[in-house]
Amino acid sequence: MNNLKEAMNEIAEMVEAELKELIFLPETPERKIKEAMRYAVLNGGKRLRPFLLITCARLFNVDDSLSVRAAAALEILHSYSLVHDDLPAMDNDDLRRGLPTVHKKYDEATAILAGDGLLTKAFEILSDKKTHPDANVRCRLVNDLALAAGGRGMVAGQMLDLLAAELSEMTLAEITRLQQLKTGRLISYACEAGAVMGGASRSTFMHLKAYARDIGLAFQIADDILDVTGDEKAVGKALGKDKDHGKATFVSLLGLEEAKQKAQDLVEQACSNLDIFGERAYLLRDVAKYIIERKS
């Protein structure tokens, strides 16, 4: 696991530097929007999605100078989703990553605009020649992210999540679909984009996709477990909200022990999809385990 920690830190630093360059502060009157965008993106975070993207891309010998841009784009889009999710109209959270949420630090209108700015910035980066020399690859990166994040992906999942607050009963299959859309699709994108950038064969791509689907679900189960057993300081946000709102989660449906077992089974299943890469995929195996053991 030490290797994993080092590798995660190395990639987080690389991505941090890229993010600072990509969202620079202009000396113009609208500087405040860039400040809010930087605040949303540069305030910590595990940088899990960038780690997955760059580590998968390395399996195909993609140069880090290219994959770091795609990874930054994905992290920027992820940050937008958190900014909007925290708004009073959605989850109404005051804390994120242990700091005031963007609408608390600035104001609601600025937080909405910062989210909009981040969302569009992600596509600006992906469509730029500097991200990949092949226009077909850039187009695929853009199209796949639009599908993963939009009304057939994360946004659909968020809609289901809002509707779920009004439903008293949800089945395991319904919760699974909701979470696969809300959090799973972006995690899958991370792995898939690495493979797309590296021109992976269809079968290799499908193995990574299957790995990503399983760790995405395991990630969400771990999140539900943290909501019940986690430490607010370590997690950096208010916990226990799902229970307070009577929302169905993997823990409420399965119970704590079964939820832990399911996450464990998913990680094992995920890792079996990495056999084709042999030893080279050790970091992906380690990060799958980390996902369910994390404290934040």
By CB under 6 A, name the binding residues for ligand GRG.
45-46, 48, 81-82, 84-85, 97, 154-155, 158, 182-183, 223
Q: Give the integer Cα–Cα distance in Å for 88 and 82.
A: 12
Q: Based on CB atoms, which residue is closest to ligand GRG, 54 or 200? A: 54
Q: Based on CB atoms, which residue is closest to ligand GRG, 82 or 212? A: 82
Distances (CA, A) of 36 to 98, 107, 131, 187: 16, 10, 25, 25
Q: Based on CB atoms, which residue is closest to ligand GRG, 128 or 293? A: 293
Q: Please, what is the angle between helix 135-149 and helix 64-86, to 10°? A: 20
Shortest distance, position 45 Cβ to ligand GRG, whole Å: 3
Q: Based on CB atoms, which residue is closest to ligand GRG, 110 or 132? A: 110
Shortest distance, position 205 Cβ to ligand GRG, whole Å: 23
Residue type, 70: A
Q: Based on CB atoms, which residue is closest to ligand GRG, 200 or 217? A: 217
Is 219 within 8 Å of 78 (Cβ atoms)? no
Shortest distance, position 15 Cβ to ligand GRG, whole Å: 11
Q: Based on CB atoms, which residue is closest to ligand GRG, 198 or 230? A: 230
CB proximity list for 135: less than 8 A, separation 6 or greater: none
CB proximity list for 125: less than 8 A, separation 6 or greater: 22, 69, 70, 72, 73, 76, 131
Q: Based on CB atoms, which residue is closest to ligand GRG, 46 or 105? A: 46
CA atoms within 13 Å, Cβ hemisphere of 183: 18
Shortest distance, position 84 Cβ to ligand GRG, whole Å: 4
Going by the DSSP 8-state scheme, the letter that residue 25 receives in this structure is -
Residue type, 38: R
Shortest distance, position 183 Cβ to ligand GRG, whole Å: 4
Tokens of 125: 């980066």
Q: Give the integer Cα–Cα distance in Å for 204 and 197.
A: 13
Q: Give the integer Cα–Cα distance in Å for 10 and 153.
A: 30
Shortest distance, position 161 Cβ to ligand GRG, whole Å: 7
What is the distance in angstroms between the CA of the first residue and the CA of the last residue of the chain? Answer: 16
Residue type, 46: K
Q: Based on CB atoms, which residue is closest to ligand GRG, 155 or 253? A: 155
Cβ neighbours, 10 Å, residue 267: 25
Shortest distance, position 96 Cβ to ligand GRG, whole Å: 7
Shortest distance, position 75 Cβ to ligand GRG, whole Å: 8
